[in-house]
Amino acid sequence: MGNSDAGHTPVTVLGLGLMGQALARAFLRDGHPTTVWNRTSEKAERLVAEGATLAGSVGDAVAASPLVVVCVSDYDTVRGLLEPLGEALRGRVVVNLTSGTSAQARETAEWLGDGYLDGAIMAIPPAIGAADTTILYSGPRTAFEEHKATLRSLGGDPTYLGGDHGLSSLYDVAMLGLMWGIGDAFLHGVALLGAAGVDATTFVPFARKVIGTVTDWLPGYARQVDEGSYPADDASIDTHLAAMDHLIHESEAAGVNAELPQFFKALTERAVADGRGGDSYTAMIEQFRKAS
Ligand code: NAP
């Protein structure tokens, strides 16, 4: 199935929630003939006014385009919508931008077949289509390359991770973990300083500086982890552990939640018990590699 309309591949978008509407609008903005379908058809009204074609059924929507993007609440819904279509999906590329787990992505690949790409959106709806918006894709490289130019409409940085369909979801949750880790540590610091009358805005430049500093450490951290060797070039785990006690005591004294530093300490004590006290902080990777 080839491109048409002067290089503007027809695209179908299934699911017009907050994200699906943003995806369809981004395709329309770039001139792709865009067919849409949503369980609640009223959500298509504005898009139709902007030039989209509303299909009367999922089957009609899929039949309209060689590239089908699906973005609904969960993978069960994806399966409920697409599996009944059977052969009608053959020869099309289905890009599933619904959030889920790597196991769900791999399972979907089993019943959906060759033309399946799983994806993860690292953005909120207003950022869809922006040059610096990253969307991750995994699955067959040929399917990605065939539609990479069209997928650029959704975000200027369509990133292919490899043939394992589960990779998009795995990167997605790993990055969400970073977001929550940094976010919670920031908010804990805000609570602590707030107890001394310092407002959050005052703390921001200090927080940004330390986040930037830690960011700069990451390549060195990664090198030690990849090499499996943890020389303490800067500070040992024993030194970190002592500082964690200060954070716990300050939190308790201020009457704010001390669970976050208590968790840091509990994990670090296990590393010390494993004989890693004199090593670099990167040796903590061994604690994260164990099942909890
Ligand atoms: P949403 O606004 O709640 O939309 C959910 C969509 O799923 C709607 O189109 C809804 O149809 C459809 N749906 C749910 N159950 C269905 C069913 N049984 N049959 C048919 N359609 C069904 O959610 P959203 O924000 O668009 O998110 C969609 C996906 O994108 C999620 O996996 C989310 O994690 C992911 N995502 C969202 C964001 C974000 O910032 N919003 C960012 C990254 C990833 P109706 O309209 O008929 O209810």
pLDDT at 3: 39
Q: Which residues of the chain have pLDDT under 50?
A: 1-6
Residue 42 CA to ligand 1 center (angstroms) comes to 15
Residue 77 CA to ligand 1 center (angstroms) comes to 10
Given ligand 1 and candidates 58, 72, 101, 173, which is best to mutate, with the most ligand atoms within 8 Å of its CB?
Answer: 72
The answer to the question of residue 183 being in a domain is no
- Indicate which atom in ligand 1 lies nearest the CA of residue 43: 46
pLDDT at 2: 38
The answer to the question of residue 28 being in a domain is yes
Cα 108 to chain center, whole Å? 18
pLDDT at 199: 98
Given ligand 1 and candidates 19, 62, 76, which is best to mutate, with the most ligand atoms within 8 Å of its CB?
Answer: 19
Specify whether 136 is located in the same domain as 17. Answer: yes
pLDDT at 233: 86
Residue 197 CA to ligand 1 center (angstroms) comes to 41
pLDDT at 157: 84
Provide the residue range defining the domain that includes 284.
195-288
Number of domains in the chain: 2
**CATH code at position 75:** 3.40.50.720
Residue 48 CA to ligand 1 center (angstroms) comes to 19
Specify whether 149 is located in the same domain as 217. Answer: no
pLDDT at 36: 98
The answer to the question of residue 61 being in a domain is yes
Q: How far apart, in Å, are the Cα atoms of 116 and each of 27, 32, 99, 119, 134?
A: 19, 20, 15, 10, 19
Model confidence over 69-122: pLDDT tens digits? Answer: 999 999 999 999 999 999 999 999 999 999 999 999 999 999 998 899 999 999
pLDDT at 5: 46
